[in-house]
Amino acid sequence: MATKSLKSIAPVPTAVDFLDIILSKTQRKTPTVIHKNFKISRIRNFYMRKVKFTQDSFDEKLGSILSEFPILDNLHPFMSSLLNVLYDKNHYKLALGQLNTCRHLIDQVAKDYCRLLKFGDSLYRCKQLKRAALGRMATIMRRQKDPLAYLEQVRQHLARLPSIDPNTRTLLICGYPNVGKSSFMNKVTRADVDVQPYAFTTKSLFVGHLDYKYLRWQVIDTPGILDHPLEDMNTIEMQSITAMAHLRSAILYFMDLSEQCGYTVEAQCKLFHSIKPLFANKPTLLILNKVDVMRLEDLSPENRALVDEIISIEGVTMVQVSCYTDEGVNDVKTAACDKLLTHRVETKLKGTKINSVINRIHVAQPKARDDVVREPFIPEAVKARQKYDPGDPMRRRLEKDIEAEEGGPGVYNINLRKNYILADASWKDDIMPEIMDGKNIADFIDPDIAEKLEALEREEEKLEAEGFYDSDEEIVDSDEELYAAEEASAKAMKLASERKKMFKNRPVMPRTTGMRTIGEMTQKLSAAGYDTSRIEAHAMVAKASNAAMRKRKREERDEAMDVDTGRDGEWVDESMEVDGEDVSPKRAKGNTGAVVAKSKLPQTNRQLTGFKNAEQANKAIKLRNLGQRERNMLARAGESDRAIKTKMPKHLFAGKRKGGKTDRR
């Protein structure tokens, strides 16, 4: 079971919440109405169903808890030992065992009471047996209060454990407290481990990742270890011991030669020899940290002899590091990764799987074409890029070094233009360069553009001097004329937009293209040798008909524009009222003797179509309004589809429910 699956365990409820969940589910999911006049078989089945459903609910909930928590014997030895250190394996197994026993007891209670319910002879007897069954189940569940609380704490702690892959490439950092393990971890990985100047700041395992040779590496920072027997170590120290014992990794043992950590060099060397059995068959590196304060060459002869004794052990590589100045940090990472890669390859070569793979591998070797020896040549600049050592004068200057020289973070502002690929390096500092794909667009402008612009300006000046622009309209100076011009322009734009919409779906070419008039058409047809007499006769008839129609329209318009000077300036015309409203055309009214034009009146009133007279129309309108009254009242109710028709239903607000009544459900 991977560490990631440990984080997906569902929360474990308390005993009280457990009972609430199960019993409320039984009440919701099973029938609730039973009567004494039912058949006794129906009554028995009713209560047996409740008991069995409750048993199934307990079984399902407890089964999910037991299946989600990991079985220690099925885990990787590292995870199994880590859980034993953190939670005590016996206590953990005991809690899960009690829940398993609880599940079996509840199943047995349900089985016994279902057997008794088969012989229930009345509603009362069956109901009491159901109550007794559920009561015994609840009592058994309440006794599991402590195991449930313990498992919930274990679940919460499991969710906070780091995701450690026991089988991947791993670098394990160990040593005394406060020797610089977490500082190195923050330097080489993307992790952010808390670093403080006191011991045991790191109290649990922390995991970070780094990339080397296109591979992902796992770096584990362990809590500090003190030099005392294994039985006296606490939980914090045992996490480190467990990781060293079970993980196939490269061991990075950190030492502080300056003794600023609070422990002597002699004590640190004794701790190395104490835990050396855990380093068997693992690549080991001795990291001498804080060399900016004390180097190996500056140690006293006694301490130097103790350190040399460790270095002389076969398979131990010594590297001096300073996490403060970054000296040797990259060398430690490179040496540890290379050593672990070599060790893993050698281990696989010693295994049995290599025989099935090696037969399918063939390495082609090129044949020499002459006897000249050609040694590989790597320029010094390339070598400097491959490693980062602050003390090497040939190394490549990083942006970090430039930042430190220019005032540090918050003061230094990175120059993003310095890597532009341009023909001239001075172009990088242009005030406003136009860069595209690493090239300056200004480089591709016509080099004679300035001369061409000057020639164009001279030509314009010459045209102005000759009066070429004098025929243009005068410039509008006054504000009123300017406003009128803007308004006219807006109207023209609006008219153009409307015209564009009007002709949007029409054919692009007008149908009369090339034949504007009848005369032109007949002329072209005659030239082509066709007889156009019938077309001309038809055009003459249509022209006469259109003239007669236009004359008749003019006469009708003149009659409509009649002039009348009635008494007191009023139009003498009958009006018509329907339902108290005047439906006749309104008459213009003015002073006596005034000349007023009236539009042509309609022949009939459309509102009275189908009626004998105004009285019949009034009656029809009244009947129409009366028929719409009910719908008008309903329209005020709104559009809700959850309207409560009866505001106070009697069965909810009157009477009293007696014991056993379940009508409301």
* 218 is a domain residue: yes
At which of 157, 180, 197 does a domain end?
A: 157
By the 8 A CB rule, do 417 and 428 touch? yes
- 284, 253 Cβ separation under 8 angstroms: yes
Is the predicted pLDDT of residue 571 greater than 60, yes or no? Answer: no
**Residue 296 DSSP code:** G
What is the mean predicted confidence (pLDDT) over 535-558?
82
Range of the domain at 15: 3-157
| β-strand pairing of 170-175 with 215-221 | parallel
Domain CATH number, residue 33: 1.20.120.1190
**Structural domain includes residue 172:** yes
The pLDDT of residue 417 = 84
What's the total number of domains in the chain? 2
- Kindly tell me the number of DSSP H helices and DSSP E strands found in the chain: 21, 12
Average pLDDT of span 380-400: 66
Token pair, residue 329, equals: 């940090």
Same domain, residue pair 240 and 340: yes
Name all contacts of 202-205 with Cβ < 8 Å and 24+ positions apart. 203/236, 204/162, 204/236, 204/239, 205/161, 205/162, 205/164, 205/239, 205/240, 205/243
Phi, psi of 485 (to 5 degrees): -65, -40
> What's the full length of the chain, in residues?
665
DSSP, collapsed to helix, strand or coil, labels residue 320 as strand
Do 216 and 133 have their domain in common? no
Output the pLDDT for position 391.
Answer: 60
Segment of 152-156, 540-544, 609-613 carrying the highest mean pLDDT? 152-156
Is residue 84 domain-shared with residue 192, that is, in the same domain?
Answer: no
Q: Name every residue whose Cβ is closer than 8 Å to that of residue 105 and which is 6 or more positions away in sequence.
A: 140
Q: Is the pLDDT of residue 164 over 60?
A: yes
In a domain, 590, yes or no: no
Q: Please tell me whether residues 177 and 142 are part of one structural domain.
A: no
Predicted confidence at residue 190, as pLDDT, reads 84
Return the SS3 of 131: helix
Is there a single domain that holds both residue 173 and residue 279? yes
Comparing CA positions, the residue from 253, 285, 245, 252 lying closest to residue 270 is 253
453 conformational bin, left if phi > 0, alpha if psi -120 to 50, beta if neither:
alpha
Are 134 and 196 in the same domain?
Answer: no
Task: Calculate mean pLDDT across residues 9-19.
Answer: 92
223 close to 203: Cβ distance less than 8 angstroms? yes
pLDDT of amino acid 586: 45
Residue 83 binned pLDDT confidence (cut-offs 50, 70, 90): confident
> What is the arithmetic mean of pLDDT over 102-122?
94
**What does DSSP say about strands 439-440 and 435-436: parallel, antiparallel, or unpaired?**
antiparallel
Mark whether 14 and 105 lie in a shared domain: yes
- Please check whether residue 558 lies inside any domain of the structure: no
- In the numeric block, the tokens 């054919």 are attached to 507
CATH of residue 261: 3.40.50.300
Span 644-663, average pLDDT: 64
**Across 18-27, 184-193, 422-431, least confident range:** 422-431
The DSSP code sequence of 172-236 is EEEESTTSSHHHHHHHHSS------SSTT---S-EEEEEEETTEEEEEEEPPP--SS-GGG--HH
- At residue 61, the pLDDT reads 93
- For residue 303, the model assigns a pLDDT of 85
User: Considering 350, 373, 399, which residue would you say is the last residue of a domain?
Assistant: 350
- Select, from the ranges 244-248, 429-433, 661-665, the one with the highest average predicted confidence (pLDDT): 244-248
Q: What pLDDT score was predicted for residue 99? A: 94
In a domain, 397, yes or no: no
Specify if 146 maps to a domain: yes
- Round to whole Å and give the CA distance between 451 and 455: 6
Are both 149 and 178 inside the same structural domain? no
Task: Supply the mean pLDDT for the chain.
Answer: 80
Greater confidence (431 vs 334) lies with: 334
Contacts with 143 (C-beta within 8 Å, 6 or more apart), sequence order: 15, 102
First-to-last alpha carbon distance for the chain, in angstroms, is 46
**pTM score, whole prediction:** 0.53
Q: Which of 345, 318, 343, 342 is nearest to 332 (CA)?
A: 318
User: Token pair of 327, please?
Assistant: 């000296």
Helix (H, G, I), strand (E, B) or coil at 342: helix
Confidence of residue 21 (pLDDT cuts 50, 70, 90): very high
pLDDT in tens, 59-76: 999 999 999 998 888 888
- Write down the pLDDT at residue 592: 44
Closest CA to 230 of 240, 220, 222: 240
196 and 131 in a common domain: no
CA distance 330 to 336: 10
Contact 303, 266 (CB under 8 A): yes
Please report the pLDDT score of residue 636 as a whole number.
59
Rounded Cα distance between 180 and 221, Å, is 10
Predicted local confidence at residue 432, as pLDDT: 60
Q: Which bin fits 410, alpha (ψ -120 to 50), beta or left (φ > 0)?
A: left
Which of 99-113, 210-224, 401-415, 491-505: highest mean pLDDT?
99-113
Range 164-180 average pLDDT? 89
Give me the pLDDT at residue 3, please: 55
pLDDT of residue 59: 94
444 DSSP 8-state letter: G
**192-249 pLDDT tens trace:** 887 877 777 777 888 899 888 888 999 998 888 887 777 778 888 888 888 888 888 8
What percent of the chain is predicted at pLDDT more than 70?
Answer: 81
b/e burial code for range 476-498 (CB count within 10 A of at least 16 → b):
eeeeeeeeeeeeeeeeeeeeeee
Using one digit for the tens of pLDDT, what is the confidence trace for 582-618?
A: 544 444 444 444 444 445 566 777 777 888 888 899 9
Give the highest mean pLDDT range of 53-57, 340-344, 521-525, 580-584.
Answer: 53-57
Contact 88, 14 (CB under 8 A): no
User: In this structure, what token pair is assigned to residue 109?
Assistant: 């209670």
pLDDT of residue 597: 45
In a domain, 25, yes or no: yes
Domain annotation covers residue 651: no
Residues 221 and 241 in one domain: yes
Co-location of 251 and 317 in the same domain: yes
pLDDT of residue 475 exceeding 60: no
Position 565 scores a pLDDT of 40
Same domain, 51 and 106: yes
- Say yes or no to pLDDT of 124 above 70: yes
Token duo for residue 346: 């050698």
* Structure tokens belonging to residue 134: 């559920």
pLDDT band for 655, please (50, 70, 90 cuts): low
Boundary (domain end) residue, out of 157, 178, 199 = 157
